[in-house]
C-alpha cells in the first residue's frame, strides 16, 4: 500500500490527519514546511523543507513511495523574493512566478496542477482523514434558536453572493444583518474586529447573539484550503458575544472535535454542521 504524503503547514491538523491515516492502516509521510509546521511532525516519517525547495520535496515524496498527496495546515502566502528555489525547482521558476501573480484561488488551483503534473494525485484532507470534517448536526450540547437560524441563513446567502469574488470563507451576522466579512486578515482578525465594533457601540444588539458561518468558497476546489475551526476560533467567537458557529458539514475541518465540543459548551456557544446544500 502506497504512503499518503502530507505537505504540512502550521496548526494541529497535520498531526491529527497523520494520526488518523496511520490508525486506518495506511503509511504516511510528512513534508513539513520549516517555520510553519510543528516539531511534532517528527513522530512520523518526514522531511523538513523550505519554501521553494521543490526538487527536494518531490524527491522525498517519490523516495517514500507516495502516490497521493494532501495539503494540510495553514501556510502564509510567500513573496517570490522569500522563496529559496533549489536546483530541482529552477526550471519551474516561470510557472511559480505566474502562480504568485494571481489571487488565492488562482494560486491554489495552480498548486494542484503543479503537483499533479509531476505524477501525484492530490486529495483533500477530508478524503484521506474524513473524521476531521465537521459532521451534520450539533457538536456539543447547545442548540441554535430561531433568531440564530435566521442569522445562519443570511450569512450563508452572503457567502454565496461573494463566492465569485475570491473573498474569504467566513461571515458574521447579528440580528439579521451582516456585520463582518472575512478578507485577507483571516477569521480570527475578523472576529476581533466584531469585538471592537461591539465594545465601541457600533453594533445594535441586545445582549449575546449572532453567528459566525464558515463555508468553502462556492467555486473552490475542495482539495485545498478547506476552512477550519479550532479552539481559538471559539474563544474569539465567545469574546465577540456571538451565540454560536455554523459550518458546512463535510467541508469544514474541526481540529480535535471532542475538545471543540467541550469548549463550545464551556463558552456557551452552539457549534453545528449544516447541510452542504444550505451552505454552498
| pLDDT tens digits, 100-111 | 666 666 677 878
Average pLDDT on 15-42 reads 96
What does the alpha-carbon distance between residue 244 and residue 271 come to, in Å, rounded to a whole number? 6
CB of 179 within 8 A of CB of 173?
Answer: yes
Among the listed residues 240, 264, 230, the one whose alpha carbon sits nearest the alpha carbon of residue 138? 264
Tell me phi and psi for residue 136, to 5 degrees: -80, 125
Single out the residue in 94, 112, 130 at which a domain terminates: 130
Question: Do residues 271 and 172 both lie within one domain?
Answer: yes
pTM for the predicted model, two decimal places: 0.85
Average pLDDT on 129-142 reads 96
Question: Do residues 121 and 150 both lie within one domain?
Answer: no
Average pLDDT on 87-106 reads 70
Question: Do residues 151 and 198 both lie within one domain?
Answer: yes
Single out the residue in 130, 153, 185 at which a domain terminates: 130
Among the listed residues 53, 44, 104, 42, the one whose alpha carbon sits nearest the alpha carbon of residue 75? 104
Question: Do residues 112 and 198 both lie within one domain?
Answer: no
Question: Do residues 164 and 198 both lie within one domain?
Answer: yes
Question: Do residues 107 and 145 both lie within one domain?
Answer: no
Query: Lowest-pLDDT range, 119-123, 172-176, 217-221?
Result: 217-221
Question: Do residues 159 and 272 both lie within one domain?
Answer: yes
Average pLDDT on 70-83 reads 79
Per-residue pLDDT, 103: 67
Question: Do residues 28 and 81 both lie within one domain?
Answer: yes
Single out the residue in 115, 130, 145 at which a domain terminates: 130
Question: Do residues 246 and 209 both lie within one domain?
Answer: yes
- CATH value at residue 271: 3.40.140.80
Tell me phi and psi for residue 158, to 5 degrees: -65, -45
Residue 164: domain span: 133-279
Question: Do residues 148 and 218 both lie within one domain?
Answer: yes
**pLDDT tens-digit map of 212-246:** 999 998 777 889 888 899 999 999 999 999 999 99
- CATH value at residue 52: 3.40.50.20
What does the alpha-carbon distance between residue 87 and residue 28 come to, in Å, rounded to a whole number? 26
Question: Do residues 256 and 143 both lie within one domain?
Answer: yes
Cell numbers for 250 = 463535510
Count of structural domains, the chain: 2
Question: Do residues 182 and 139 both lie within one domain?
Answer: yes
> Partners of 277 in the beta sheet?
none
Amino acid at each position: 500500500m502506497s504512503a499518503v504524503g502530507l505537505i504540512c503547514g502550521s496548526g494541529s491538523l497535520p498531526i491529527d490527519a497523520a494520526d488518523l491515516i496511520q490508525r486506518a492502516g495506511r503509511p504516511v509521510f510528512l513534508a513539513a514546511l520549516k517555520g510553519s509546521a510543528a516539531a511534532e511532525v517528527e513522530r512520523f516519517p518526514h522531511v523538513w523543507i523550505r519554501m521553494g525547495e521543490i526538487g527536494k520535496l518531490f524527491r522525498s515524496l517519490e523516495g517514500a513511495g507516495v502516490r497521493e498527496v494532501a495539503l494540510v495546515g495553514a501556510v502564509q502566502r510567500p513573496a517570490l523574493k522569500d522563496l529559496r528555489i533549489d536546483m530541482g525547482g529552477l526550471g519551474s521558476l516561470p510557472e511559480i512566478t505566474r502562480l504568485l501573480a494571481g489571487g488565492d484561488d488562482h494560486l491554489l488551483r495552480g498548486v494542484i496542477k503543479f503537483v499533479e503534473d509531476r505524477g501525484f494525485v492530490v486529495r483533500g484532507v477530508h478524503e484521506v482523514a474524513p473524521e476531521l470534517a465537521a459532521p451534520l448536526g450539533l457538536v456539543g450540547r447547545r442548540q441554535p434558536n430561531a433568531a440564530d437560524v435566521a442569522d445562519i441563513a443570511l450569512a450563508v446567502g452572503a457567502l454565496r453572493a461573494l463566492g465569485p469574488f475570491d473573498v474569504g470563507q467566513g461571515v458574521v451576522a447579528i440580528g439579521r444583518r451582516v456585520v463582518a466579512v472575512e478578507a485577507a486578515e483571516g477569521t480570527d482578525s475578523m472576529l476581533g474586529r466584531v469585538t471592537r465594533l461591539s465594545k465601541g457601540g457600533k453594533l445594535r444588539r441586545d445582549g449575546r447573539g449572532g453567528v459566525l458561518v464558515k463555508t468553502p468558497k462556492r467555486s473552490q476546489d475542495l482539495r485545498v484550503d478547506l476552512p477550519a475551526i479550532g479552539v481559538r476560533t471559539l474563544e474569539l467567537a465567545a469574546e465577540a458575544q456571538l451565540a454560536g458557529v455554523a459550518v458546512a458539514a463535510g467541508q469544514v475541518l474541526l481540529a480535535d472535535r471532542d475538545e471543540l465540543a467541550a469548549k463550545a459548551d464551556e463558552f456557551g456557544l452552539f457549534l453545528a454542521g449544516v447541510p452542504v446544500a444550505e451552505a454552498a
